[in-house]
Structure 1
Amino acid sequence: MVKVVTAPRVNSEINKLKMAILHRPGKELERLTPQNLSELLFDDIPWVRRIQEEHDNFVKVLQQNRVEVLYLQNLLEEILKEENVKEKFIDELLQVNGVTSPKINNYLKEFLKEKSSNEVAEIAIGGLTLNEIKIKKSMMGLAEYIYQDSYFYIKPLPNLYFTRDPGAMIDGGLMISSMKTAARKPETLILKYIYKYHEIFRKNNIHWWYDDSYPHSIEGGDVLVLSEKVIAVGCSERTTPQAIEQLAHNLFEKGSSVERILVVQIPINRSYMHLDTVFTMVDTNRFVFYPGIKNELRVFSIIKEEKGFSIHQEKDLQTALKSALNLYTIDIIPTGGLNAITSAREQWNDSTNTLAIAPGVIVTYSRNEISNKIMEKEGIKVIPIEGSELSRGRGGPRCMTMPLLRE
């Protein structure tokens, strides 16, 4: 069992990263086919061995910079060693996967209860197909006959290596996302169980800010913790204004240090699914931004009041950042420079999805050469990693990291 001396807390986007949750891509990616790519939110099929090598190298970079890396699957395995927790988890896992036939449901329950905690965790992430269990013909329904061996009772979670999205630490509490797409909803079930039963959260009195019991979607990639008192939240393809308002209410009323939320409305587009695909913080007053959407942005402030909160529209992003963070100057670094084609190409390959591991020190994909050179010229220390396969899932180093603790 992982022992955590210091309670998880994140009050900054750039301070020294001390501990984070990651997930090593595995069997779930071997389940991708041309037929299910769209449903599982992928544009291409990654080469699994190579994507694991790239991820391992990313972890090595973090560890060399004294970041403690916790693997999501290991955390899940640890809590499932308690039989009552495992039994509850199996029930909810089958429910979230839409197993409705009583006969099949009972059969799968017994099948999974016989498995070890490691095996249940692997199945929850990697999926379970018809041809992997011995089921009597009398129990088969129409779906089994039509889809045959490719039928998933438990669907794989190939997006799980983007651990940023299912949740986010804000101050001393956890926001568990309410995911927009059906393909990603089981990811939050995993995080919810870890939050509820793992000692990292349970013994450290970690607050709760949001979860999937709310009907409106919000995802971790849209949340940036700019300072102790200010966060930015993207209103995007995946995050609704209703969810942002509810999060604001919970943060203001339940004792967080947050006093202001900058709501950044970005275009509803697959290319810009989350705020961190177009905008990230790299230093105290410096930000990386995709200039191709500059004219489409709208920015609002939700400000904590003595009773409730107020909302007003900001002039622009730069002005809002200066005011919220009490900074005299703000430096916005455009990805790809002023070349629209280069900027668009590198944004597609996650040039804006930088992970700050210390002020002015970021991890990025090496393939975004122009953007990386621009940031280095601006005095940012860039640590490049290979991401030819990792980037096929439409996410970068920030997407792959869920910070639990920053200095």
Structure 2
Amino acid sequence: MKHPINVTSEIGTLKTVLLKRPGKEVENLTPEYLQRLLFDDIPYLPIIQREHDYFAETLKNRGTEVLYLEKLVAETLSDENIRKQFVDEMLAESQLTANGATAVLKEYLLSFPTQEMVDKIMGGVLKKEIDTKKKTHLYELMEDHYPFYLDPMPNLYFTRDPAASIGSGLSINKMREPARQRESLFMQYIIKYHPRFASHDVPVWLDRDYQFSIEGGDELVLNDEVVAIGVSARTSAKAIEQIAINLFKKQDSFKKVVAVEIPKCRAFMHLDTVFTMVDYDKFTIHPEIQDSNGQMNVYILEKGKEENTVSISHRNNLQEALKEVLGLSELVLIPCGGGDEIAASREQWNDGSNTLAIAPGVVVTYDRNYISNELLRQHGIEVIEVLSSELSRGRGGPRCMSMPIVRENLK
């Protein structure tokens, strides 16, 4: 088998992708804990699963191999010692929600077959599931109002964020919000222990123990020399600088990291919610990330003269900065919702800019963003629409829901 990770662009033909089918974790959402778990609404599980299956089949029909996170994790934990180690680490990172009942929870989780155990960890453990006879401490017997020993992970179907493929390696991310921080542990185990990856010594450009946060929705591989990373509510400038240093040191092909500062708000969660690449010289953009003069802060990071340093230069025009780093004389920014004040805001909220390119000039989008989709078609882009009434409630689109593992290199 060739090296299991190869992503040198945003638009190279997508050969292998990692998805997570929504499961019990979505049904364990309740109105009073939506904010804690980073949701605005509660999707209807049978329909969100149907829509996700449609999305997966759309990719398969175009020749993409679809891997599922939940299955890879179960395969990773086939060894009993690794399984126990994983449960220990997962519970150690869940102390805020485990309420001190670690021993009881460990025994409960290990009582399941491996796939059921993984689904249970992802779906969450309710206090009422634990046999009262096994609760021997006062804090275990005193049931407070919070229903979970182990929080559900409803954001897992957004596989883009916990880890991101760059070149032949990946970042395994320190995630910003407590509700999501456990998610990257799954990928850490997969890369270290799953037979598909373990024998290949996959480089990790930045690991989940790094002090500052970074998330995959902010990481865009523009080509084999340039990576763009959003400075956002979820990704810190310090993490961007460190991953740039590591990339320049360990993967010679990368020459520039473009840090793009976007407004830090819920609607503009990651760079890919307001900006994605759809062809060699075409990008979607939400116009509101720029000021009234079309300007914004863009920083170009290159390898510094001293070891473990970068040189940084500032630009204030995204379009011109992209033309510069990509060596293009012309470049088109396609505005979400056609730039209309109402349509742009509405369609961006429903991920009109969050396209998944599966080949140059071919993208998967949500069907609900009909104005943005038509505009993409007018610019010569093939648009494949997928169902989205329930998937969109999580505030993430096709790019958010997919972690490319292998793309063909651009010619």
Shorter-chain TM-score bucket reads: over 0.9
Q: What is aligned with 2:313?
A: 312
Pair 1:90 & 2:91 matched: no
Q: After alignment, is 110-119 or 274-283 more displaced?
A: 110-119
Distance 1:255 1:95 in 2: 33
Provide the secondary structure at the position in 1 that maps to 2:253.
coil
Q: What is aligned with 1:171?
A: 167
Distance 1:103 1:231 in 2: 42
Pair 1:372 & 2:368 matched: no
Taking only aligned residues, the RMSD between alpha carbons, in angstroms, comes to: 1.7
Distance 1:385 1:334 in 2: 20
Answer yes or no: is the 8 Å Cα contact 1:130–1:144 preserved in 2.
no
Q: What is aligned with 1:284?
A: 280
Distance change (3 Å), C-alpha of 1:340 and 1:129: same
Letter in 1 for 2:400: C
Distance change (3 Å), C-alpha of 1:168 and 1:305: same
Q: What is aligned with 2:386?
A: 385
Letter in 2 for 1:88: Q
Residues 36-47 of structure 1: pairs in structure 2 closer than 5 A: 36-47=33-44
Distance 2:228 2:89 in 1: 32
Answer yes or no: is the 8 Å Cα contact 1:236–1:267 preserved in 2.
yes
Pair 1:14 & 2:11 matched: yes
Pair 1:64 & 2:64 matched: no
Residues 198-217 of structure 1: pairs in structure 2 closer than 5 A: 198-217=194-213
Q: After alignment, is 4-13 or 98-107 more displaced?
A: 98-107
Question: Structure 2 length normalisation: TM-score?
Answer: 0.94
Distance change (3 Å), C-alpha of 1:140 and 1:49: farther
Structure 1 unaligned blocks of 5 or more? none
Q: What is aligned with 1:348?
A: 349
Answer yes or no: is the 8 Å Cα contact 1:279–1:353 preserved in 2.
yes
Could you tell me how far 1:235 is from its partner in structure 2?
A: 0.2
Provide the secondary structure at the position in 1 that maps to 2:181.
helix
Could you tell me how far 1:103 is from its partner in structure 2?
A: 7.2
Residues 123-272 of structure 1: pairs in structure 2 closer than 5 A: 123-136=120-133, 139-142=136-139, 145-147=142-144, 150-272=146-268
Distance change (3 Å), C-alpha of 1:83 and 1:158: same
- Work out the percentage of aligned pairs sharing the same amino acid: 47
Aligned residues between the structures: 403
Answer yes or no: is the 8 Å Cα contact 2:97–2:149 preserved in 1.
no
Could you tell me how far 1:257 is from its partner in structure 2?
A: 2.2
Answer yes or no: is the 8 Å Cα contact 2:43–2:391 preserved in 1.
yes
Distance change (3 Å), C-alpha of 1:278 and 1:102: closer
Q: What is aligned with 2:302?
A: 303
Distance 1:232 1:103 in 2: 42
Distance change (3 Å), C-alpha of 1:274 and 1:184: same
Question: Structure 1 length normalisation: TM-score?
Answer: 0.95
Q: Deviations over 1:137-165 (max 9, x none)?
A: 763444763435x5322211000000000
